[in-house]
Amino acid sequence: MSFNSFSEFMAMGGHGLYVWLSYGLGLAVILINVILPRLQRNRLLAEQKRRLRREEGVR
Amino acid sequence: MTMQTNSEDLQRQSLSGLFWATCRREYLLSFRRKSDLVNPLIFFLMVATLFPLGVSPEPGFLAQLAPGVVWVAALLSTLLSMDALFRSDYEDGSLEQLLLSPQPLFLVVLAKVLAHWSVTGLALTVMAPLLGLMLFLPAEGMPGLMLSLLLGTPTLSLVGAIGAALTVGLRKGGVLISLLVLPLYIPVLIFGSSAVQAAVTGLPLGGYLALLGALLALALGLAPLAISAALRISMSS
Amino acid sequence: MAEKKWMPRWFYQLASPRWCYQITGKLLPGFAVAALLLLAGGSIWALMFAPADYQQGNSFRIIYLHVPSAILAQSAYMLMAVAGAIGLIWKMKVADMVLKSAAPIGASMAVLALATGAIWGKPTWGSWWVWDARLTSMLILFFLYLGVMALNSAIENESTAAQASAVLSLVGVVNIPIIKYSVEWWNTLHQPATFKLTEKPAMPAEMWVPLLVMVIGFYCLFAVSLMMRLRNEIIWRERRTGWVRELLIKQ
């Protein structure tokens, strides 16, 4: 453990803003890379199912 | 035996014939559309005019900026002219015929690009001292400026032609070309403007010009391959 | 026909979108768990247990995001170019899809590398942006990604778009070493040797082990994201086929 207390951990020896900003951004980029394809998949599947139902219905 | 050498000879002749025929056709076409010839040059001049207006008319300051400004202006005006390289051929259908013809596409493409360069890049090179004067580039820098442009602009044309070939079938190709090609122009810009700076400060130019020459050699060898592949892909849809 | 023997069987199976969809479906959970564990463990290790740098203090901890994302941004471009070459040579549809799927992930990694580099630059150099050779090359790499993505979205025909982006990414790959060299050279010309972000005299193990964990974690994340995008792309392009229809009905 490099830190003695939680407030020290948050402060990061005066560099807290930079470190936490970076890790926040990192988390955001990681989440975007997982969530966007997931949303896209849901949308795609719903769309294609609708199309399928429409086409089957016509037949 | 004699037959074979004859046919080889004939083939070689026809290859160089093909090259020159393509060049001649390009010249004829470009001299018929004079605006396409002149517009990049006017643009070149205008961009250089904007800098003193936008930054400062102070001679010492401008002289410092001059190598970079002239090079960036040359780069942008080359880029501007690239869009027209294959467009008219695409629109009147001659590009499709070119792809269907049995002639080696590599050579035709190379001839087209070099002809195009000689009416844009070469013209820019000849005009560059005027811009150098406007921006107070010291007289010692002029040879460096012209030599670096002479070696650098063909590379710009060859690389730009890849972008033009990739976007030839698209309606909004113009802006897209710049997006695709500008990052690839960076090495030429760096070595070109450094050559001018070296010339201004009286340092030897050889190394920079050799690097620009190496880039040109690489582009001459590889770019026509990429251009022909890109043209085939663009025309396939 | 004899040529076919030269390539392992899985190479040809990869060419089948259906097979590819199934195998990625099996691999995905494993990679997802690995990515989660490695990234969570690596971050905690990096933030709480790794020692602070004697010069840069705790701002050094940004390295655990900066370096993996920078490495990944470069690898993703290489992957794109390799996929593009395979797509052009063997006319493999899946390779085209890999190229298209890898571009946005690589671009996001380049953004992360640039942003963390800039943030790290503030306490280290005193300004948010410095024309450091590595940061500048990364910026240009980001532009190259944007070009590939723009070209891909500008061409409507899918196979034409894929082939055109393949050519562009191959041209980019030839250029990347030249760009890197020229930028490095330009940098030394204009700036005296600055304090480099990532050049350290022999990092101790308690510093580089978490870094390695993070790098592997990022690779796993890349694999997860790539497979997710690839599966979407496969469904989209194969939407008219029987097996996708069955798949949709089953759900």
- Is A21 a domain residue? yes
Q: Do B176 and C179 touch (CB under 8 A)?
A: no
Nearest to A26 among C65, C120, C248 (CB): C65
Residue A47: give the domain boundaries: 17-58
Cβ(C127)–Cβ(B126) below 8 Å? no
Residue B162: both structure tokens together: 């890849």
Q: B–C: how many Cβ contacts below 8 A? A: 76
- Binding-face residues of C in 102-131 toward A, CB within 8 A: 105, 108-109, 111-112, 115-116, 119-120, 122-123
The pLDDT of residue C30: 95
- Is A36 a domain residue? yes
Q: How many residues does chain B have?
A: 237
Residue C116: give the domain boundaries: 61-250
C125-158 per-position pLDDT tens digit: 888 888 888 889 999 999 999 999 999 999 988 8
The torsion of the CA quartet C172, B231, B179, C92, rounded to 10 degrees, works out to -50
Q: Which chains touch C (3 or more CB pairs under 8 A)?
A: A, B
C-alpha–C-alpha distance, residues C45 and B59, integer Å: 57
Q: Do B187 and C179 touch (CB under 8 A)?
A: yes
- Identify the bridge partners of residue C53 per DSSP, sorted by sequence position: C57
C-alpha–C-alpha distance, residues A6 and A3, integer Å: 8
How far does chain B reach from its first CA to its final CA, in angstroms? Answer: 45
Q: Do A33 and C65 touch (CB under 8 A)?
A: no
Q: What is the total count of domains within chain C?
A: 1
Which of C171, C175, C188 should one mutate to test binding to chain B, selecting the residue with the greatest count of B CBs within 10 A?
Answer: C171
Q: Distance of CA B166 to CAs A34, B232, C83, C154, C237, Å? A: 31, 9, 18, 11, 23
Considering only CA atoms, give the Rg of chain C.
21
Contacts of C183 in chain B (CB under 8 A): 186, 190
- Identify the bridge partners of residue C57 per DSSP, sorted by sequence position: C53
Cβ(B38)–Cβ(B46) below 8 Å? no
Q: Do C244 and A48 touch (CB under 8 A)?
A: yes
Q: What is the DSSP string of B129-175?
A: HHHHHHTT--TTHHHHHHHHHHHHHHHHHHHHHHHHHHTTT-TTHHH
Contacts of C147 in chain B (CB under 8 A): 179-180, 183
Q: How many residues does chain A have?
A: 59
The pLDDT of residue C149: 94
What's the number of CA atoms in the CB half-sphere (13 Å) around residue B135? 32
Q: Do C248 and A45 touch (CB under 8 A)?
A: yes
Cβ(C121)–Cβ(C130) below 8 Å? yes
Contacts of C159 in chain B (CB under 8 A): 237
The pLDDT of residue C241: 86
Q: Each residue of C47-78: b (16+ CB within 10 Å) or e?
A: beebebeeebbbbbbbbbbbbbbbbbbbbbbe
**pTM for this structure?**
0.89
- Identify the bridge partners of residue C164 per DSSP, sorted by sequence position: none
The torsion of the CA quartet C14, C17, C18, C24, rounded to 10 degrees, works out to 60
Q: Which has the minimum average pLDDT: A47-56, B214-223, C3-12, C86-95?
A: C3-12
3-state secondary structure of C236: helix
Q: Residue B18, Cα to own-chain centre: how many angstroms?
A: 21
Q: Is C59 an 8 Å CB contact of chain A?
A: yes
- Residue C196 clears pLDDT 70, i.e. is over it: no
The pLDDT of residue C233: 93
Q: Residue A53, Cα to own-chain centre: how many angstroms?
A: 32
Chains A and B touch (3+ CB pairs under 8 A): no
- Is A34 a domain residue? yes
Listed in sequence order, the DSSP H helices in C51-92 are 63-90
Which of A21, A29, A52 should one mutate to test binding to chain C, selecting the residue with the greatest count of C CBs within 10 A?
Answer: A29
- Residue C202 clears pLDDT 80, i.e. is over it: no
C-alpha–C-alpha distance, residues C29 and B210, integer Å: 53
What are the structural domain ranges in chain B? 2-236
Q: Which amino acid is it at C1?
A: M
Q: Is C58 an 8 Å CB contact of chain A?
A: yes
- Is C22 a domain residue? no
C106-117 per-position pLDDT tens digit: 999 999 999 999
- Is C34 a domain residue? no
C-alpha–C-alpha distance, residues A8 and A20, integer Å: 13
The pLDDT of residue A31: 94
Contacts of A44 in chain C (CB under 8 A): 232, 235-236
Q: Is A31 an 8 Å CB contact of chain C?
A: no
The pLDDT of residue C121: 85
Contacts of B169 in chain C (CB under 8 A): 155, 160
C-alpha–C-alpha distance, residues C19 and C236, integer Å: 15
C-alpha–C-alpha distance, residues C67 and C168, integer Å: 26
Q: Do A13 and C57 touch (CB under 8 A)?
A: yes
Q: pLDDT band for position C193 (50/70/90)?
A: very low
Q: Which residues are within 8 A (CB) of C52 and not within 5 positions of it... i.e. 6 or more apart?
A: A2, A13, C58, C60, C61
Cβ(C140)–Cβ(C186) below 8 Å? no
Q: Average pLDDT across each block of 10 residues of chain B; the chain has 237 residues. List them in order.
A: 54 75 82 81 92 89 91 93 86 86 86 90 93 91 93 95 91 84 94 92 90 94 93 86
Give the pLDDT mean for A11-34.
Answer: 89
Q: Which DSSP helix (H) or strand (E) runs through B14?
A: helix B2-32
Give the pLDDT mean for C58-64.
Answer: 86
- Is C130 a domain residue? yes
Supply the mean pLDDT for chain A: 86
- Is A10 a domain residue? no
Give the pLDDT mean for C153-164.
Answer: 90
Nearest to A34 among C51, C115, C225 (CB): C225
In the DSSP assignment, the letter for residue C58 is G
- Is A45 a domain residue? yes
Q: Do C229 and A34 touch (CB under 8 A)?
A: no
Residue B111: both structure tokens together: 């001839």
The percent of residues above 70 in pLDDT, for chain A, comes to: 93
Give the pLDDT mean for A5-31.
Answer: 86
Tell me the nearest-neighbour CA distance from C173 into chain A, angstroms.
24
Cβ(C11)–Cβ(C19) below 8 Å? no
Nearest to C168 among B172, B180, B236 (CB): B180
Tell me the nearest-neighbour CA distance from C12 into chain A, angstroms.
26
Which residues in B have their CB inside 8 Å of a CB on C?
A: 159, 162, 166-167, 169-170, 172, 176, 179-180, 182-184, 186-187, 190-191, 194, 215, 218, 222, 226, 229-230, 233-234, 236-237
- Selection from B236, B9, B230, B12 nearest residue B109 by Cα: B230
C-alpha–C-alpha distance, residues A28 and C142, integer Å: 18
Q: Which residues are within 8 A (CB) of C168 and not within 5 positions of it... i.e. 6 or more apart?
A: B162, B166, B180, C147, C148, C151
Residue B89: both structure tokens together: 């051929």
Q: Is A38 an 8 Å CB contact of chain C?
A: yes
Q: Which residues are within 8 A (CB) of B67 and not within 5 positions of it... i.e. 6 or more apart?
A: B137, B141, B145, B193, B196, B197, B200
Residue C220: both structure tokens together: 């796993």
In the DSSP assignment, the letter for residue C231 is H
Nearest to C189 among B194, B234, B236 (CB): B194
